[in-house]
Chain A
């Protein structure tokens, strides 16, 4: 499974944008970039995914580098409810399983 590297933790302030980086230098051409987050004592929640182009949805934006070796999850205006562990995961289409790394623990200050 292709590996991703994320900072262990990040901190931001409420109502400010948050940029969560992910490095995946060994990504293959067919790997999708998935982001999930896990709030305390809950199961993970799907956030966003992309292949080559930047993606937006109601939760976040995903910016993918041109060489696809890194990506950034953008929370445009963080709230206290965004405090969670964010996982960046690579998955080849059809591979089915997701392999979770350690993720980034995001703390939001009021």
Chain B
């Protein structure tokens, strides 16, 4: 149980285009989903927290107009990187926290999406 999927797993795009990444909780409902970014040889950096039906909360330094997050249902959150540039190339990872989880703050992570902007 507690499986999170991401699509696509890998995407290459041209500079200036927008890319959408989907994150789905497959066997549980998630009131809260998180988006992280990870550059090579570095740790995960939290970008934003999204709650179903409300606006995402972005971490300091993350541009909300560039990284659009939509949490449309209890099983789906999307991250859109708008007008992508090479410096946005990174490994994007989502996680989900089960609704009414008995475990304090346990998150289940997706497999990640590797974005390369040419």
Contacts and interface: CB of A to CB of B under 8 A. Distances in A.
Nearest to B113: A43
A42 B111 contact: yes
Nearest to A98: B107
Interface in B1-39: 4, 6, 32, 34, 36
A95 B36 CA distance: 17
How big is chain B's contact interface, by range?
20 to 34
Q: Per DSSP, are chain A's interface residues mostly helix, strand or loop, or mixed?
A: loop
B105 A94 contact: yes
Given A42-B111, A43-B111, A97-B49, A34 B44 contact: no
Interface stretch (A19-27, A60-68, A73-81, A100-108): A100-108
Interface size class of A (residues with CB under 8 A): 20 to 34
B106 interface: yes
11 contacts: A38-B44, A43-B93, A43-B94, A43-B111, A44-B93, A93-B105, A96-B49, A97-B34, A98-B107, A100-B44, A100-B45
Interface of A: 32, 34, 36, 38, 41-46, 49, 87, 91, 93-103
